[in-house]
């Protein structure tokens, strides 16, 4: 999932970004032909992309996702607002919590996304 607009970034603290969901996305051909809905896992990858804006160091591998909840469908024509807050900034890892909203309504939340940090040389 690709971020369309960065709304706000406070490095090491939080970031807010927008992702547009137009009807032209090819994923809707197959998910699903009779009821197009954005796959929930793409929201998780969108949250990961926003997490990379928050972290002060480059993030390497995503280590884990804990406590993901999908509350409402995201449909073609929706604009998703993703907010990520840092919860752990260590020498070797970065963790955050994340919320995805559409018109002020939470569509997905993740309690913890954790990443390994790129080794700085």
Residues 6+ apart with CB under 8 A from 16: 6, 7, 8, 9, 50, 81, 82, 83, 84
Looking at 8, 45, 88, 92, which residue binds another protein (CB under 8 A)?
45
Nearest Cα to Cα of residue 63 among 98, 13, 114? 114
Q: Which of residues 82-121 bind another protein (CB under 8 A)?
A: none
Q: Which is nearer to another protein, 4 or 8 (CB)?
A: 4
- Using CA atoms, how far apart are residues 2 and 19, in angstroms rounded to an integer? 7
Q: Is 74 in the site for another protein (CB under 8 A)?
A: no
Q: Is 76 in the site for another protein (CB under 8 A)?
A: no
Using CB under 8 A as the criterion, which residues of the chain lie in contact with another protein when the complex forms? 1, 26-27, 29-35, 39-45, 48, 61-70
């Amino acid at each position: 999932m690709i971020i369309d607009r960065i709304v706000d970034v406070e490095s090491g603290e939080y970031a807010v970004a927008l992702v547009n969901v137009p009807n032209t996305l090819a994923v809707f051909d197959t998910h699903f032909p009779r009821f197009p809905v954005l796959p929930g896992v793409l929201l998780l990858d969108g949250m990961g992309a926003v997490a990379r804006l928050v972290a002060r160091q480059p993030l390497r591998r995503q280590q884990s996702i804990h406590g993901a909840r999908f509350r409402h469908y995201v449909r073609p024509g929706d604009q998703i607002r993703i907010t990520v807050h840092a919860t752990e900034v260590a020498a070797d890892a970065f963790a955050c919590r994340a919320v995805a909203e559409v018109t002020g309504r939470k569509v997905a939340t993740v309690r913890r996304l954790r990443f390994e940090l790129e080794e700085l040389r």
